[in-house]
Amino acid sequence: MTTRPRILTGDTPTGPLHLGHYVGSVRRRVELQDTYDCYFIVANMHAYTTRADKPAEIRTHALEIVRDYLAMGIDPARSTIFLQTEVPAIAELTYFFAMLLPFNRVMRNPTLKDEIQVKGLGETYCFGFPLYAVGQTADILAFRAHAVPVGEDQIPHIELTREVARRFNQMYCGVSDQADDDDHESLGGVFAVPRADVGAVGRLVGTDGVNKMSKSLNNAIFITDTPKQVKKKLGKLYTGRQSPTEPGDTSNALFDYVRTFIPDADRVRELETAYATGADIGDGHIKVEVAEAISALLAPMQERRARYEGDDDAILDILRDGCRRANECAEETLALAKKAAHLHFFDRSLSYR
Ligand code: ATP
Ligand code: MG
C-alpha cells in the first residue's frame, strides 16, 4: 500500500451515471488519481434500500457504472474500483458504528429527509434505508479516507462520518475531545476525520429545472445519451420566459447549464449579457448551443465506453482485482478497529476466485 492520503467515494447502482455525477464528483476523482490513493465504491447494497425487489437490475447497473467510470477517465491501474458487498469489513463496521450514533441523530440527517420526500418513500421505507447513512460512514472509514469527493447533497453524510470517527477515536484510542480534527491520526486514532471535497458544481439541477439531477427522478442526461437525446431532454427544460426579447434571469437552470458546459468563458459572458437584456436571443437557441457543448464533452467518453460494451468478463476482472485491493485496506482497518474496541480475538484473511 502507498503512503499517499486516501480518498473514498462512489455511487449507488440505481441507474446509469449522469452529468451530475460527472461534474459533482467523478471529474474531481479523475484529477486526484495521481496524488491520492483512490478507492471507488459501487454501493450495491445501498441500492437494495429502495429496490430490493429488483436484484438483477441492480447487478446490471453495478457493471454499467464501472463502464461509465472507465468512460469518464477513471483508470483501474491507478485507482481501486470495487463492490461494496464483496468487502465484508464494511458491513461489520456498519453494525459497530450503529452503536456509536444516537438513533435520533441518524434520522435528523437532512439528506435522508429529502430523499424520503423527493423519492416519495412515505412511511413505508425499510429499516435499512436510514441505516444506509450509517453504512456510508463505514464505506468511508473502512478505508481510513482523508477526503471524500462528493456533490453537495452528501455533506450531511460526511458530517455524520466525521462524528463517528471522532467518537471512535475518543472512546477507544485515547484521543482527547479537545484534539484538532487534523491531528486525530497522529494522536493514535484509528480513523482520520475525513473532509468533504465538493466539486466545482456541487449540485447540478436536472432537466426538470427544479430538482437535483438524479438517477431516480427521470431528469438526468446520461453519459450514454446520443446528441439527439441530449437535445430533446434540454428542450424540455422549463424557464418560464415568454419571448426572445424578454429580459431573462441568468440565475435560472438553463444558465446553470450554460456556465457548467460551455467551455469558452467569453461566450458564456456574451450569452449572459444578451439574455439579461432581452437582446433577441431565444431559449431554444441557447439550449441547442448547450446541447452541442454537452455532446462534445460526451463524445470521447462514449468512444472509450464502447471498448467495454458487451464484455462483462473485462469488467468483472477489474472488479475482482479492485475487491482484492479494497479488502487489503479494509481488513487492516477492521483489525485495527477491533483491537481498539477489544473485539479482536483471531486473525483472518480473505481471498477471491
Ligand atoms: P439516487 O437517485 O439513486 O440517489 P443519485 O443520482 O443521487 O442517485 P448517488 O449515487 O446518490 O446519485 O450519488 C453519487 C455521487 O454523485 C454523490 O457524490 C453525489 O453527491 C453526486 N451527485 C449525484 N447527483 C448529483 C448532481 N445532480 N449534482 C452534483 N453531484 C451529484
Ligand atoms: Mg442520491
Instruction: For the chain, state the CA radius of gyration.
Output: 22
Distance CA 223, CA 18 (A): 5
Ligand 1 atom nearest 21 alpha carbon: 16
Q: Which ligand is nearest to the CA of 14?
A: 1
| Å from CA of 154 to ligand 1 middle | 8
Predicted TM-score of the model (pTM): 0.94
Q: How many CB atoms lie within 10 A of CB 230?
A: 23
Q: How many CB atoms lie within 10 A of CB 249?
A: 13
Spell out a b/e string for 196-227, using b for 16 or more CB atoms within 10 Å of the CB, else e.
bbbbebbbbbbbbbebbbbbbbebbbbbbbee
Nearest CA to ligand 1 atom 18: 150
| Å from CA of 151 to ligand 1 middle | 7
| Å from CA of 21 to ligand 1 middle | 6
Q: Which helix (H) or strand (E) covers residue 6, if one does?
A: strand 6-11
Q: Which ligand is nearest to the CA of 118?
A: 1
The one-digit pLDDT tens for each residue of the chain (353 residues) are 568 999 999 999 999 999 999 999 999 999 999 999 999 999 999 999 999 999 999 999 999 999 999 999 999 999 999 999 999 999 999 999 999 999 999 999 999 999 999 888 998 999 999 999 999 999 999 999 999 999 999 999 999 999 999 999 999 999 999 999 999 999 999 999 999 999 889 999 999 999 999 987 889 999 999 999 999 999 999 888 888 999 999 999 999 999 999 999 999 999 999 999 999 999 999 999 999 999 999 999 999 999 999 999 999 999 999 999 999 999 999 999 999 999 999 999 998 88
Closest by CA to 69, choosing from 37, 27, 36, is 27
CA angle, 150 then 151 then 156, to 5°: 85
Ligand 1 atom nearest 26 alpha carbon: 16
Helices (H), the chain: 19-21, 27-32, 44-51, 55-72, 88-97, 103-107, 110-118, 128-141, 155-172, 227-235, 253-261, 265-277, 283-306, 312-340
Q: Which ligand is nearest to the CA of 140?
A: 1
Domains of the chain as residue ranges with CATH? 6-203+311-340 (3.40.50.620), 227-306 (1.10.240.10)
Nearest CA to ligand 1 atom 26: 20
Residues contacting ligand 1 via CB (< 6 Å): 11-12, 14, 20-21, 24-25, 150-151, 153-154, 203-204, 212-216
| Å from CA of 3 to ligand 2 middle | 31
